[in-house]
Amino acid sequence: MPIAHNLDFVELARYEGNGGGGGRVRLLKDLSMSITDRDVLLVEDVVDTGLTLNYLAKTLALRNPRSLAAVTLLDRPYRRMVEDIPVRYVGFTVPDEFFVGYGFDLDGTWRNLPDLRLVQLTV
């Protein structure tokens, strides 16, 4: 980014609650800096159901950022379970298929491929 900025990281985990229901999200690692009165851009690899991003956006909104938006490389808007998530920038809208490469992996392999590739999973 050609503007002054800071990077920080959060770590979230999704787990299935009692009786299913889409699971719950838990914050494992919080931000190390304040976002009060700052413009915040959440960077996601894939936005699917939106449950995790919704949890994070609502949690961070309580900290009074000036603005809050999200960017994702891959988006699957047809799988959304929540609609009010702040996805402002989308690289690609993709089908409900599995991709590897460019940082995405399958069981720890193919992460290092220089481009995205579709994997045909067999059951």
CA distance linking residue 87 with residue 33, whole number of Å = 22
Q: Are strands 11-17 and 87-93 parallel, antiparallel or unpaired?
A: unpaired
User: Cβ-count burial of 58 within 10 angstroms (0-12 exposed, 13-18 middle, 19+ buried)?
Assistant: middle
What domain range is 91 assigned to?
A: 11-97
**DSSP per-residue string spanning 46-72:** EESSSHHHHHHHHHHHTT--SEEEEEE
- Residue 107 domain-assigned (yes or no): no
Per-residue pLDDT at 15? 77
CA distance linking residue 48 with residue 63, whole number of Å = 25
- Residue 115 domain-assigned (yes or no): no
Per-residue pLDDT at 48? 92
* 10-residue stretch averages of pLDDT, the chain, 123 residues long: 92 74 84 97 94 95 97 95 92 93 93 93 78
**Catalytic position from the list 8, 37, 45, 48:** 48
CATH number for the domain spanning 25: value is 3.40.50.2020
- Residue 112 domain-assigned (yes or no): no
Per-residue pLDDT at 94? 94
Catalytic residue status for 37: no
- Residue 89 domain-assigned (yes or no): yes
- Residue 25 domain-assigned (yes or no): yes
Domain count, the chain: 1
- Residue 116 domain-assigned (yes or no): no
CA distance linking residue 34 with residue 50, whole number of Å = 24
- Residue 40 domain-assigned (yes or no): yes
Per-residue pLDDT at 17? 62
Per-residue pLDDT at 118? 93
Residue 101 β-bridge partners: 104
Per-residue pLDDT at 102? 92
- Residue 5 domain-assigned (yes or no): no
Instruction: At 82, give phi and psi (nearest 5°).
Output: -130, 145
Per-residue pLDDT at 50? 93
